[in-house]
Copies of this chain bind each other. A is one copy, B any other.
Amino acid sequence: MTTTCTSPTEFAQRLDQTADDIEALLARLLSDDVLADEITRPRRLMEAIRYSTLGGGKRLRPFLAVESAAVFGVPREAALLVGAALECIHCYSLIHDDLPAMDNSDLRRGRPTLHKAYDDATAILAGDALLTLAFDIISRDEVHADPTVRLLLTRALARASGLGGMVGGQMLDLAGEGRFGDREPVDVARLQQMKTGALLRYGCIAGAILGQASQQHYAALDDFGRALGEAFQIADDLLDVEGDAEALGKPAGADAALGKTTFVTQLGVDGAKQRIRDLLARADQALAPFGDKGDVLRAAARFVAERKS
């Protein structure tokens, strides 16, 4: 693996700083007193949304948006807004995936899931509201002076989140578990490219869109985002086999209990680790055009692949 000029300590500080900034921005976007032009915001629903959205998480997807935007010198405030919209989508997907009708999870980040802390109806509506809010945020004037840029961000977000992206991937995942009758054969790489890869990739290309990057630079970040997305999921599958329940904030071994096809069942532990090394090399290579401006993203790929939770 190549070394980068970003030390682990420096990287951790940057990650924490962006997580803090996103936390503050989401708290502002989700406070009761903003958007006074709206009729009203039901109190319980707002509380439920804040419960699920504030107070935790590495904010990895926003971090990718912020750092890919930084490559092109985009103002941090604009990238944070895009990151906040992306995090709204991520949080809604966790709320809906945790529902009894879906993965039926009681714990998330070591706390009761939203439908456990509130109820199923509130959880469904909180997810719907967050998904909708993401498109409100991403289309705002403050995101970029050029409306065409905002539209590109909007459409790419819809594509990453929808039928051909995250939602479609979750559906394939459930089909692979045999939820709709016979267990359907799973192409793990394709499924995960949609279910988890699409939003991670969006974080990376969002910076290029914001920065009005050349086609070549856009393609480079696209390729980087795809490699990082796959590495993220393989690391996730490895954690489910080798991870520590306490660090994860949820039980390990859940995939095996469901008999799920994962990268690890398909490649074996050693094969999965080799695949991660290959993907990190591809991620590094994709960033070559950016020289040392790509260092933080390089470190991000490594962080994603080697994380313990």
A contact set with B: CB distance below 8 Å:
35, 38-42, 44-46, 49, 92, 96, 99, 101-102, 119-122, 124-125, 127-129, 131-133, 135-136, 139-140, 147-148, 150-151, 154-155, 157-159, 161-165, 167-168, 170-172, 174-175, 179-180, 190, 193-194
Contacts and interface: CB of A to CB of B under 8 A. Distances in A.
A119 B180 contact: yes
Which of A120, A128, A172 has the largest number of chain B CB atoms within 10 A? A128
Contacts of A148: 147
B179 A40 contact: no
Contacts of A167: 45, 125, 128-129, 132
Contact of A40 (B39, B136, B159, B190): B190
A92 B124 CA distance: 12
A27 to B, nearest CB: 15
A172 B45 CA distance: 9
Contacts of A159: 38, 136
Contacts of A165: 38-39
B154 A139 contact: yes
Which of A45, A102, A119, A167 has the largest number of chain B CB atoms within 10 A? A167
28 contacts: A35-B164, A38-B164, A39-B164, A39-B165, A39-B194, A40-B168, A41-B164, A44-B175, A49-B163, A99-B124, A101-B119, A119-B179, A121-B179, A122-B171, A124-B124, A125-B167, A128-B128, A129-B163, A132-B158, A133-B163, A135-B154, A135-B158, A136-B155, A139-B154, A139-B155, A140-B155, A147-B148, A150-B151
